[in-house]
Amino acid sequence: MDKLEDPAASTSMSAVQIGVVGLWVLALLFTLYFASSILLPFFVALFLAIIVYPVVRWLRLIGIPEGIGAAITLFLVFALIGAGLYGLAEPAADWINRSPQIIEELRTKTWSLRRAVEDAQEAAKDVEEMTDLDGAQPDAVVRREPSLAGQIFALTWSTAASTIVTLFIMYFLLALGRRTVERMFEALSSKSRQVYARDLCRRLQAQLAAYLQTLTLINIALGTITGIVMAVLGLPNPVLWGALSGFLGYIPYLGPFLMFLVISTVSLLTFDDWARILLPMIAFALIETIEGHFTTPWIIGRRLTLNPIAVFVFILFWGSLWGVMGAILAVPILVSLKIICDGRPALAPVSALLGTEHG
């Protein structure tokens, strides 16, 4: 006679499992948030190392040890980024120094729109006063905000410290990462697990590297075209806007929207004729439309298509945890999770939810 399963016991076990998973998720979120100063540089270094590792591998093939090859690669990356920042520092600093004047010019040029908003606010205030029966006003709490100079200094110091930590981690990943991973594989208990782990790591590295390298080339082309078009249309500092466009291209949806706001603001400050004001905005919108709806889907989508809902949720989640860099890392993390789920039949529903893979 078959033994019947107790539904109450089954429900109890299910509740226990859900509770354990919930506690694990809460612990993970707690760790991701409060250990961001350690985890964020590591993830940035990991994805940068994946992008430039082919250089280290090529140097190893011609006889240069990985430690020296990693140092050479890191020097080239540092020199390239340093040269770019040096060339963009002056125009960026000029725009920052002009921020009070820019705000005043925007106030002047958008006077009619602001007037309509102020009228609406006055009307809302009148309605609120009419509905306030006792007329009592709460005590105002005055909160002193740190000065702009103090905020810039703190941000600069924090960025410099994070950059140094990221470069150190990146060097060790490039110099010792391959051998460390191999030792981890050899420590696995069975041969089948070693084969599976090696295959998963190989597919993850190859597909993620292909994705990141392709996306980097697309963003370089996007920034170059944006800079050239803005220069032709007479926008000042076109190299700065091209570089910013390429950088924000790593953030789907949100990045192009922010760049459109930047182009719109600069165009509004630069030109007085509405035809010339609208032309850079239309041109950038056209560039982004071609890149976002045709170029990138055709190049990257032939291999991997991500669910837009999953992309948006990941950007919101990682952006809320780690700020701008979290939003940039959101899609690479999503791609990594998608590749891992593709290799596990039990995770096929999750893989289908995250996107589709093309052969």
Kind and range of the H or E element at 294?
none
Amino acid at 291: E
User: Cα–Cα distance between 183 and 206 in angstroms, integer?
Assistant: 20
Looking at the structure of the chain, the number of domains it has is: 3
Residue 98: DSSP 8-state: T
Please state, in angstroms and rounded to a whole number, the distance separating the CA atoms of residues 14 and 235. 61
**Residues 235 and 105 placed together within one structural domain of the fold:** no
Q: Is 340 within a domain?
A: yes
Position 181 in a domain: yes
* Contact of 252 with 317, CB cutoff 8 Å: no
Per residue of the chain (359 residues), give pLDDT as tens: 444 555 554 454 566 777 777 788 788 878 888 878 888 888 888 888 888 888 888 999 998 998 899 999 999 888 888 887 777 777 777 777 766 776 766 666 666 555 655 655 665 565 566 655 555 555 545 555 555 445 555 556 677 778 888 888 999 988 888 888 888 888 877 788 888 888 888 888 888 888 888 888 999 999 999 999 999 999 988 999 999 999 988 888 888 999 999 999 888 888 888 888 899 999 999 999 998 888 887 877 666 778 888 888 888 888 888 888 888 888 888 888 888 888 777 778 888 888 776 55
The reply to whether 204 falls in a domain is no
Structural domain span for residue 176: 38-110+160-187
- Judge if 47 and 171 occupy the same domain: yes
Domain boundary among 132, 152, 187: 187
Q: Whose structure tokens read 């899609």?
A: 331
- Could you tell me if 49 and 179 lie in one domain? yes
**Which stretches of the chain are DSSP H helices?**
7-34, 36-61, 66-97, 99-109, 111-131, 148-186, 191-232, 238-248, 254-270, 274-290, 296-299, 308-342, 348-354
Q: Is residue 104 part of a domain?
A: yes
State the DSSP code for 293. Answer: I
67 and 173 inside one domain: yes
- Please indicate, yes or no, if residue 149 is contained in any of the structural domains: no
**Is there a single domain that holds both residue 224 and residue 345?**
no
Beta-bridge partners for 356: 305
The angle at the Cα of 342, spanning 339 to 13, to the nearest 5 degrees, equals 110
Structure tokens at 301: 């989508």
